[in-house]
Copies of this chain bind each other. A is one copy, B any other.
Amino acid sequence: MNLQQFRYVQEAVRRGLNLTEAAKALHTSQPGVSKAILDLEDELGVPIFERHGKRLRRITEPGQQIVRTIDAILLQVGNLRRIGAHYTGQHAGKLSIATTHTQARYFLPGPVAQLRQLYPQVQVELHQGTPDQVARMLMDESAVVGLATESLLGHEGLISLPCYEWHHVIVVPEGHPLASLARIGIDDLALHPLVTYHPTVTGRSRIDNAFAKARLHPEVALEALDSDVIKTYVRVGLGVGIVAEMAMREGSEGLVAIPAGHLFGPSVSRMAFRRGVQLREFEMRFAQLLSPLLTDSLLQRALHGEPDNYEL
């Protein structure tokens, strides 16, 4: 039994039981992967994969447990490296952040710049995706920190902590009739075609809920993953935009932002980590830049302690 075998099994599972793919991903030969896995199965006395002739078809029942256990082992092995890096005072390294467009564009520039000031040697790597992709990137360790508004909660295997609260705003071109209303109601809004986020991102669910609660079914003219795209289409008159307030801080010439917190309520952006992961020094500092009230000890407790929603 050895760590290499574990890596091969893990990668095989991640690549959909395709050993050829797994071998490629791990920069090794396919027969080597095959042999290692067979050896492990032999040693444990049970097959991990169910084979149909010579292809892997699915994971056996004991295989499920074995894969879970292997994941846990490799997470800890990764932690050993991280402990080393932490104590060598490595102020160099790569910080991989998985996040959504809105966060990457409008919120992260500040914290990232501050981090680079503290640790000039740290290389920042941004992975953009939907919140679900963010969660997946954390789980397979392509990223260490995740940042998003939705769907990070409820992921077993991830822990998440609140970063900041924000509200939606309504975006219209200058001179639009809605811009002159004293106070916009949900029904005023429902009269116009809407341009807003794709259902998977950035608090879209709060928008849907608000309309559903008022029994309104507004026309959604366009859905986008991206605040800038939304603003662009509002500018050309496609409809009324609803975006996160952060998205209006810049590049909003010719547009008017109208507060809409009273319509959709507050949203909370959260950072997330894989549960049980060991953070390096600069990763901890970065977490604190994302959420200044966060202490090292609270962070440690959250990462290694009980599953819970940690509120500050």
A positions within 8 Å CB-CB of B = 1-3, 43-46, 61-62, 65-66, 69-70, 72-73, 76-77, 79-81, 83-88, 90, 278, 306
Contact between chains at A62 and B87 (CB < 8 Å): yes
In-complex Cβ contact of A81 among B44, B80, B306 (8 A):
B44
Contact between chains at B46 and A88 (CB < 8 Å): yes
Contacts of A70 in B (CB 8 A): 80
In whole angstroms, what is the CA distance A87 to B59 when docked?
14
In-complex Cβ contact of A84 among B44, B77, B81, B306 (8 A):
B44
**Could you name 18 residue pairs across A and B whose Cβ atoms are closer than 8 Å?**
A1-B80, A3-B3, A43-B84, A44-B80, A44-B84, A45-B84, A45-B87, A45-B88, A46-B83, A46-B87, A61-B87, A65-B278, A66-B83, A69-B80, A69-B83, A70-B80, A76-B76, A306-B306
Q: Which residue of B lies closest to A60 (CB)?
A: B87
Min Cβ gap A74→B in Å is 9
Contacts of A83 in B (CB 8 A): 44, 46, 62, 65-66, 69
